[in-house]
Amino acid sequence: MEFMQTAPIQQTSQEKTLLYIEDNAHDREIATNLFSEFFAKIIVGVDGENGVHLYERYHDTIDLVITNITMPRMNGIQMIQSIRKVNPEVAIIVLSSQDEAHDFTQTIEIGVDGYLLKPLHQAQLTQTLNRVLEKLHLRYENKKNSLLLKQYENITNVSSIISKTDPKGVITFVNDKFCQISGYSKEELLGKSHNVIRHPDMPKAAFRDLWKTIKDEKQTWQGIVKNCAKNGDTYYVKTTVQPILNPEGEVEEYISLRHDITAIMSDKKQLFDFLEANRLSVLILVQIEDYPILEKFYDKASVGKIEDTFGRVMLYLMPNRWGFQRVYNLENGLYAFAIDRRSCRAKKERNL
């Protein structure tokens, strides 16, 4: 029965490296033989000073330290304190005799992970190792999960437009991509609500539905939102808003992930949005002459390629001083160029 209990622990402990410190040669030999049933690799030290030296040398590989307290040159308490300076999180078990019980207070203060009493027995060792190895496993899983979350956070930050708000909707965080697309700085956004980028065309019913979903129902909301940048430009984002709940089920904050889908929205819709936002605009319309002939001689895919190429060439041939940034393909061979008239005036003044 005892072997059945130790077997699962041995499977875990065989992957660990133990640093064992004991000044008594007889006790050291007995304990090392017992430890070898659990650990494939054991590094043995003969006193506290030697233990510090060994840990500093092999700390990258050592998973667990088991040490005596009363030792020459440097006692176990001092050794643990020195080891903690190298790695505050390394697991440490104190192996002591009954007459060293007065040192337990100090070991608690420096944060050891377990205790073993001499003479050492397998049942006692198995029970203590089980607790400590479980703690080591939890630490490892927490560290791994934290690393994964950090990587997820990094890739999300690069690919998504992100903001966070408190339960009242006040912005507490925005990433760089949010600032880039909105034209606002972080200082201009933090402490404000998302109304600062709200486009007047967005129906109030959409936001009522959003708040009902995330606040009342505490569910994820998804939808396409039309926003207005600081310079008046319109942009579209596919938006996901997730309420973050605490253990009591109360909303702690909201996190929003957005993806810019402006480029895939209809050119006609984007042109109308631009003209709506820039009432004083220069608009140039260009029509391919005899466009229906193209449709008679070419299939739809070929006509689409011709239209795309024609639009890109026209934009390329436009004089730089005019400042057109894009061409709107309105289909059926019709194109539009639009620019804020004030931009034209500013460019003209710079060129004079």
pLDDT digits (tens, 9 = 90+) for 90-139: 999 998 876 555 667 777 778 888 888 888 888 888 888 888 888 888 88
> Domain 2-150, what fold?
Rossmann fold (3.40.50)
Question: Long-range contacts for 23-32 (Cβ within 8 Å, ≥24 apart)?
Answer: 23/47, 23/68, 23/70, 23/71, 23/72, 24/68, 27/68, 27/118, 30/120, 31/66, 31/95, 31/120
| CATH of the structural domain 160-264, one choice from 3.30.470.10, 3.40.630.10, 2.40.10.340, 3.30.450.20 | 3.30.450.20
Q: By C-alpha distance, which of 279, 13, 46, 198 is closest to 122?
A: 13
What is the pLDDT confidence band of residue 2, given thresholds at 50, 70 and 90?
Answer: very low
Q: What is residue 40's three-state secondary structure?
A: coil
How do the domains of the chain map onto residue ranges? 2-150, 160-264, 267-351
DSSP 148-166: HHHHHHHHHHHHSEEEEE-
Tokens for 341, please give them.
Answer: 């008239």
Helix (H) or strand (E) holding 9: helix 2-13
pLDDT digits (tens, 9 = 90+) for 321-333: 777 888 988 888 9
pLDDT of residue 63: 92
State the Rg of the chain over Cα: 35
Its pTM stands at: 0.54
pLDDT digits (tens, 9 = 90+) for 279-321: 778 899 999 998 989 988 899 889 989 998 999 999 889 887 7
Residue with tokens 């929205």: 265
For residues 332 and 206, give the distance between their C-alpha atoms in angstroms, rounded to a whole number: 33
pLDDT digits (tens, 9 = 90+) for 217-227: 999 999 889 99
